[in-house]
Chains A and B, each alone.
Chain A
Amino acid sequence: MSDVSFVRTEMLPEQAPPASEVGAIGWIRHNLFSGWFNSILTLVSLYAIWYVLSGVLPWIFQSVWNANSLNECREIMIATWGSTHGHACWAVINDRWLQLLFGFYPSHLYWRPIVSLILLLVALAPVLYSDRVSSKMLIVTAIYPFLMPFLMWGGTIWGPIAAALGFVVGWGVYTLVSKQLSGLFGMIAGVAASVIWWLVLSSYFVGALDSVLPIGIEAVQSRQFGGFMLAILLGVVAIGVSLPIGIVLALGRQSDLMIVKYLCVGFIEFIRGVPLITLLFVASLLLNLFLPPGTNFDIILRVMIMMTLFSAAYMAEVIRGGLAALPRGQYEGADSLGLNYWQAQRLIIMPQALKISIPGIVSTFIGIFKDTTLVSIIGLFDVIGLASAIRADTAWNGIYWELFAFIAALFFVVCFSMSRYSMYLERKLQTGHH
């Protein structure tokens, strides 16, 4: 009985882990030197980073900011550091940054694009941060599409007001007719009334009011638009308009109506099968041929139309992916609640499908924003076009790294913020349990 071996009755106190497994040392051991192969990789990477930084950092910081030409830059470099190699000549940016941002926009009117940009951010705030910004701000969002062209192009104030009135007229006719007859007739009559207003009546309206009450600001020609401003202008319009068109096209492609479906499929596949540059050729060369003789409208407007159609086709495919990913039960559930097609889409299907497709939608946005640079090929002076012009200038002939680094930084900031916002939105809308 007494030779029962010793059994411990109380636990030993916990001991601290070995110093090499925790803290900074442990982290380094686990993440950088966990084996011979990893150690070699780490050393090679460190060498690569050192090699790049030792070239790039002096280039960025030991640089010339004030000079009137590349030759002057080089003289200053030789006087200061003894060689022209490995030093940036930021003087070109210092000299031309306003042009790179605004193109040939009249310099005394620079406040107008700046105000437009600030108003854009104000208009986007209630949409992007709906939980933090009051929804009353949406009124700015509604006004913005009419205010922005007025600010950018100037001219009479009655033009944008007439455009906005078109919606009012359409809505008025819709409510009037749908009370008398049916909703469908109301819709058709409303759309018809708006179109008649825009195409026929609004020009008389603008002409009459302008002669009576000429209110307006200095007009700016489209060919004076350029620089990064043009990229933002084209990008914002294409992004804003292509989302609704893309939704309609995606619904059309999923629809049971055969003819509607094939029209949508044909459009989407055609646009996705050709490069954007050919569509821009259409905008610059052919669009005027397709319209009644004598029509001549603005090149920037034509480019906007083609870029919007291009972006809408890609958007439609992304949203179709979201629609296809929804379980069949959601459609059946909506049907069993007795919702009609549009109610089901609005209340059940679209909120979920759009949520699923957020990453795709945002990468389409980023893609179309980057693609705005292609307009330099059809002769508009966007940033890339201006960069070529500056490089052809005798004063700056031979410069390239500084210019392109500046432009790349501009695009990187905008595109990277968009992709981060989409990640934030995905997290915010996450309703799953993992």
Chain B
Amino acid sequence: MTTLTDPPKEQFRLSMLLYDTRYRSATIQVIALIGFMLLAAWIISNTIQNLEGLGKPVEFGFFAESASYDINQRLLEYTSQDSHLRAAFIGLLNTLVVAVLGCITATIVGVFVGVLRLSNNWLVARIMTFYVEIFRNVPVLLWIVLAMAILIEGLPAPNAFRGDNPTATMDLFNTVAVTNRGVYIPEFLFSRSLGDIHLFGTSSLRFDISLDLVAFLVVLGGSIFTMRKVSAWAAATQESTGDRPKIWHIQLGILFVPMIILMTALGLHLGYPELKGFNFRGGTHMRNSLIALWLALSLYTAAFIAEIVRAGILAISKGQTEAASALGLRPGRTMRLVILPQALRVIIPPMISNYLNLTKNSSLAIAVGYMDITGTLGGITMNQTGRELECVLLLMLVYLAISLSISAVMNWYNNRVKLVER
């Protein structure tokens, strides 16, 4: 007869923490955590000691003090009497402006170059390869500084536009002035403007929203909503009858007619730059620093985007194109309905990281004096107040927040377009 016995009860010994795989991982983690906390504590205590030695404990009160420096390129109103916080806020908006402009231009140029690199035309493909290799293999800082140098040294001064026999003339039917002090472009003016809303009173984050812009966005949103309804109706008709009604002229009408009516009602006209005295007045003035940064960042990033687009299109197998032709789709529709939706899945993730790189590279603005967040918070504010620790940490936090929000938005989009696998 057999008897059942319990397996011998294992005694816990200290050495099992090292040799037993069940406990070893816990041991390693505890050691890692303790090591990390010791390191952090060491750094923090050193910092506190050092700051006490220098006589400047960590505090953020300097943000309320008057900045007393000027920011020449800005979206919102700002004077040198405003606080450092206001200056940082203006700088943040400048960062976002150049990042958004850069991303749009880089995408357009990049897609164009990437598609042309795959062209059957040998010469065009070679020229585009040349462009990509030149821009990818030279530092972006060099492109930025070079663009700035070309703008300052190579363009005519405003007084070259003066006199009966000027050496320089304005471009695009006398509407755009390209000078070595920046580019003056026409601005939108409304003779029957709806005015502004002032948000946040007189605080540092005060913000004016133009009601004209709000009206424009509302009308645009309404038009797009109606257009989607119309195309849904067209799709439903196609499902039931097999015929797709022609809707493109209806769509164009929905998009443009309300907009034109709104613009006429508001009295839209353009304000042109004019030479007055030593400089141009009127119009929107884009400083050289903004243009140099924008151009250099877009052309540099476009070279990377071109490679991504090319790789994405090459990743779609030829069988897909052939199957689409076998179904009777024309080349245009093949591209739009078969190739692009699949290529986008390959293209979007690296595209996100390139947008992030462009945003982070915009911090090089400090090299050409464009007042972005690095130029204000990490530049003049830091030098004036001597608060390196607070300024640099805040600067990092701001960039971290921007990076994380861009990648969150783009990942959401990526999840929407990606293939749903079973």
Contacts and interface: CB of A to CB of B under 8 A. Distances in A.
Interface stretch (A8-16, A53-61, A128-136, A384-392): A384-392
B388 interface: yes
User: Of residues B50, B374, B400, B403, which shows the largest number of chain A Cβ atoms within 10 Å of its Cβ?
Assistant: B50
B367 A377 contact: yes
Given A256-B25, A285-B388, A293 B364 contact: no
Instruction: Give the 10 A-B CB pairs with smallest separation, nearest first.
Output: A400-B149, A415-B137, A31-B122, A275-B360, A370-B139, A273-B403, A275-B363, A273-B400, A285-B388, A259-B29
B359 to A, nearest CB: 8
B36 A400 contact: no
A289 interface: yes
B399 interface: yes
A424 B50 CA distance: 51
B43 interface: yes
Interface in A256-305: 256-260, 263, 270, 272-278, 281-282, 285-286, 288-293
Given A384-B142, A400-B146, A278 B32 contact: no
B142 A31 contact: no
B119 interface: yes
A416 B129 CA distance: 13
Given A45-B124, A259-B32, A286-B388, 11 more contacts: A32-B123, A34-B121, A182-B19, A292-B49, A293-B46, A293-B53, A366-B137, A373-B139, A384-B142, A400-B153, A408-B146
Interface of A is mostly: helix
Interface residues of A, number: 57
A263 B150 CA distance: 46
B124 A182 contact: no
Contacts of B36: 263
Interface in A26-58: 31-32, 34, 38, 41-42, 45-46, 48-49
A42 B46 contact: no
B127 to A, nearest CB: 6
B142 A411 contact: yes
A46 B400 CA distance: 46
Interface string B394-412: 0110011001100000000
Given A289-B389, A293-B49, A366-B137, A404 B123 contact: no
Interface in B303-334: none
B137 A416 contact: yes
Given A285-B392, A370-B138, A404-B146, A32 B121 contact: yes
Interface of B: 18-19, 25, 28-30, 32-33, 36, 43, 46-47, 49-51, 53, 119-124, 127, 133-134, 136-142, 145-146, 149-150, 153, 360-361, 363-364, 366-367, 374, 378, 388-389, 392, 395-396, 399-400, 403-404
B399 A374 contact: no
A289 B149 contact: no
A376 B140 CA distance: 13
A78 interface: no
Given A257-B29, A259-B32, A398 B153 contact: yes
